Amino acid sequence: MQETDPRSEAAANEAAQRSKRLFGNQPDGSDGVAKVLREAREKKHEEIAKISSRLRIRAIYLQAIEEGRYRDLPGDAYAVGFVRAYATYLGLDGDETVRRFKEEASVSGKPARLIFPIPAREGRAPKAVVLLLSVLLALVVYGVWYAISDPAPSEPESKVFVEETRPDTLETELEASVVSEETAAAEGTAAIVEAAPEALPPSVSEAAPAPEAVVNEVPSSVREEEASTSIASEAAVMIVLRARRDTWIEIRDVDGRSVMAGVLYTNQIYRPPLQEGLTLAVGDAHGIDILVGGEAVPHLGASGVILRKVLLDPARLKAGSAVLD
């Protein structure tokens, strides 16, 4: 006679007691999983919608479990997981509830119903449509390019209008012109013959020589001397700006228009135009040297001082009184 394992009997008895405590002992299954779960939820006064939100389980599945509609649940793994989570949330024994649920629903070995989406058929555009769209796109791109790169319209060429002359009219005009020229030539010859005077005496016919024009020429030495004097006078008042280090400057004319603005780099030289009323603005008074007629004038100020208005006048620069602001 086969002996029974005491531990197996103890485990079976414990499971039976748990099932009796949880589901009762009615043979007709009136205290099934559905009824136990529904009553536990009602005792806690909770709504299915609230439990569905917390457990992340759709409400229709919880409703199906409470109503015993187990065929409306998804595959075995999902159904068992839903029941276990629902029972544990309500404070029941999850393992025993799952075991009883399997007996009631007979879900062991039931295949999961997996529904895969059917991909939509990829439509094929006719080749003619694709070709037409390509041509239209190319035309649009060409039109945009032409509109951007089209130069300004040139002035229309002046049209020369030539009056049309009919052949018969042209012959008539040519004949009239020839006749008039012959008549004029004959009359002119007669007039010359009639008006020819007698030979003039030699003393009268010889033309008197024209008097020679008297021109007072300036010697070349005088012109060279005047040119050298002019150059020397301009050189004496020529102003030269030489940068001791990179310094920003701006020169304006008497009307306030900017003549030059920018950075004068180290050892770079700038010669302002020979023009009255020019003013200088400098970002570093000690950053530039000013020469008038080749001679350095006093510095405009200390290092780092910004000057907004320095009069570019040779005399005032030499005297050190050119800084106005």
Domains recognised in the chain with CATH numbers: 13-105 (1.10.260.40), 234-319 (no CATH)
Q: What is the mean pLDDT of residues 292-319?
A: 88
What are 169-184's pLDDT values in tens digits?
A: 545 554 555 445 555 5
Residue 259, pLDDT > 80, answer yes
Can you give the pTM of this predicted structure? 0.32
What are 104-154's pLDDT values in tens digits?
A: 876 444 444 545 455 555 555 568 888 899 999 999 999 898 888 866 555
Q: What is the mean pLDDT of residues 245-266?
A: 92
Lowest mean pLDDT among 84-88, 197-201, 233-237: 197-201
* Residue 14 pLDDT: 57
Residue 305, pLDDT > 60, answer yes
Q: What is the mean pLDDT of residues 63-81?
A: 89
Beta bridge partners of residue 214, listed in sequence order? none
Considering only residues 256 and 211, tell me which one the structure prediction assigns the higher pLDDT. 256
* Residue 170 pLDDT: 47
Which residues, in sequence order, are CB contacts of 138 under 8 Å at separation 6+? none
What are 37-70's pLDDT values in tens digits?
A: 999 999 999 999 999 999 999 999 999 999 989 8
* Residue 8 pLDDT: 56
* Residue 137 pLDDT: 93
* Residue 324 pLDDT: 84
Q: What is the mean pLDDT of residues 76-104?
A: 91
Q: Phi and psi of 199, rounded to 5°? A: -60, 135
Residue 101, pLDDT > 70, answer yes
Considering only residues 12 and 33, tell me which one the structure prediction assigns the higher pLDDT. 33
Considering only residues 11 and 25, tell me which one the structure prediction assigns the higher pLDDT. 11
* Residue 179 pLDDT: 47
* Residue 109 pLDDT: 43
Mean pLDDT across the chain: 74
Does residue 301 contact residue 307 with C-beta atoms inside 8 Å?
yes
Q: How large a percentage of the chain has pLDDT more than 70?
A: 61
* Residue 150 pLDDT: 65
Split at pLDDT 50, 70, 90, the class of 322 is confident
* Residue 152 pLDDT: 56
Does residue 249 contact residue 281 with C-beta atoms inside 8 Å?
yes
Q: How large a percentage of the chain has pLDDT more than 90?
A: 30
* Residue 17 pLDDT: 54
